[in-house]
Structure 1
Amino acid sequence: MATDSILPRGTGQWMEDAEGPRWWFDSGSLALDFAYTGGLDRPEESQPVADAAALNDWLVERFPEVAPTAGEREFRDATALRSAIGRLARQASRGETLAPDDVDVVNLFAATPDIPPVLPGGGRQAGRT
C-alpha cells in the first residue's frame, strides 16, 4: 500500500496547484517527471523543485541510496538539464525539429559517468571535489 510519503521506485509524483486539488502525475519516465518539477507546461508558476534542498528531497524519494549532497552548483546543472528535457519533450510532442543546443545538453549529461556506488557512513564520496 503506497502513501503520499512513500513512492514506489520508478516514475510518478504527487502534484498540486496552489488553489487546486492534488493529483498523481506519472509520465512513465523519470526524465519527464523531473522536467515537470520545473513547471514543464507552466514555467511561470511555482516549481516543486525550486532549490538544492528540494532537489535532494526529490532524488532521495526516488533513490534512497543516493546521499542528499546536491548544492547550488548541482542545482544549476539540474535546472539546465531539466529545462532542456522540457523543451525537447514539447518539441517532440508537436513533431517539431529538436533544438540542437538542447540535444547537446542532454547528450552531455548522458555521457557523464554514473554516480558511483557508495557505502554509507563515510565522510567522503569518490569523484566529488
Structure 2
Amino acid sequence: MTASPAGQLRSRRAWGILLALLGIETVAGVIALIPLGVAFFAADGEEAGQRVSVLLGGLLAIVWIAVTFTGALRARASWARGSALTLHVLMFAAGTGILQYGLADSWIGWSLVIAAFVGFFSALAARPEYTAAADEDGTTTEV
C-alpha cells in the first residue's frame, strides 16, 4: 500500500512534532531529576528504600524517554511510535493525578496534560518508515 503525498507530508510533520516534544521532555526530565537527586542525599529521616525507589523510578523514566527519542530520531520505527504512545498515555495519567490531588503546582499538571495530548496525537499521525531489506534469495521485502 503506497501512501499519498499528502499523507507523507502529514506523517513527516507529525514525526517532527513528536521529535521536538520528545527532545523537550528529555531535557525537562533531566532538569527535574536534579532536585530529586539533591533530595535523595539531603533526606536523612526517611527510609533509604523509599528514596532509592523514587530516584530509580525517575531515572528509568528519563532513560525510557531518551531511548524513545533516540529511536525516533534515528529510525522512525514502529517501536518508537508505540513507545511514544505509551509514554504519553502515562504522562496524561500523571498530569491528571497532579491536578486532582494537588501533588504539584497546577501549571505542571496542565503542562503534562497538554504535552500528553500533543504527543499522543502526533504519534498516531506519524507512520513508521519502512526500509527494504534483502532476503536470502536476493529479493527485497519491506521490513
Q: Could you tell me the TM-score, scaled by structure 1's length?
A: 0.35
Q: Could you tell me the TM-score, scaled by structure 2's length?
A: 0.33
Larger radius of gyration: 2
More helix per residue: 2
